[in-house]
Amino acid sequence: MNKEKRQKLVDFISKSFADAPYPENGYVGFELEDFEGLHWKDVTPELLCTYVDELVNFSGAGWRFFLPAILSGVILHSKEIGRLADNIIRTFAVPPSENSGRFADNTRRLFTKRLTVLTSQEKIAVRAFVEAFKELEPYAIGKL
C-alpha cells in the first residue's frame, strides 16, 4: 500500500474515532501507566513497541480510546513496530464457533466485549483497517 493510501486510511480512522472519550475514571488498563493522561494522537511507535504484549490489558474504554493509535501505528510504522501488526489483527480474528475450549471461548468473549464499546462509525473504521491489512502486511495473512 502506497504512502498516500496509508495516510488516507489513517485520516479515516482518526475522523471515525474523533469523538471517542478518554476513560472517565482515568483508568486505561492494567500495567499501562505510560498511557495515562496521553491523548491517543500523542502515542509514539516506541511506546507501542514497549507495550506490544500488554495492549490486551486495556480496559474497554481505554481500548476504544487508544485503538486509533494502535491501528495508525500499524499502518504508518509497521516495520518499526514489528509484532504489533500480528497482535492487533489477532484481536479481530475470532475462532470459529465450532472451536471450543477455554482459549477460544475467552477470545470470542473478549472480541464481543471490545466490539460493543465501539460506535457504528468506529466499527466501519476497524473493518476498513482489517480489509486493508492484506495489502499492509501480506506476509501475515497466512497466520489468520
Task: List, as one string, the DSSP characters of 17-47.
Answer: TTTPPPPTTS--BTT-GGGTT--GGG--HHH
- Chain segment 60-71, per-residue pLDDT in tens: 899 999 999 999
Q: Count how many domains the chain has.
A: 1
What is the C-alpha to C-alpha distance for residues 12 and 8, in angstroms, rounded to an integer?
6
Mean confidence (pLDDT) of the chain: 84
**81 contacts 44 by C-beta, under 8 angstroms:** no
Residue 144 vs residue 4, higher pLDDT? 4
| Per-residue CA distances from 41 to 16, 59, 137 (Å) | 13, 18, 23
SS3 (DSSP) at 100: coil
Question: Is residue 41 over pLDDT 70?
Answer: yes
Residues of the domain holding 74: 3-143
How many other CB atoms are found less than 10 A from the CB of residue 127?
11
Residue 112 vs residue 65, higher pLDDT? 65
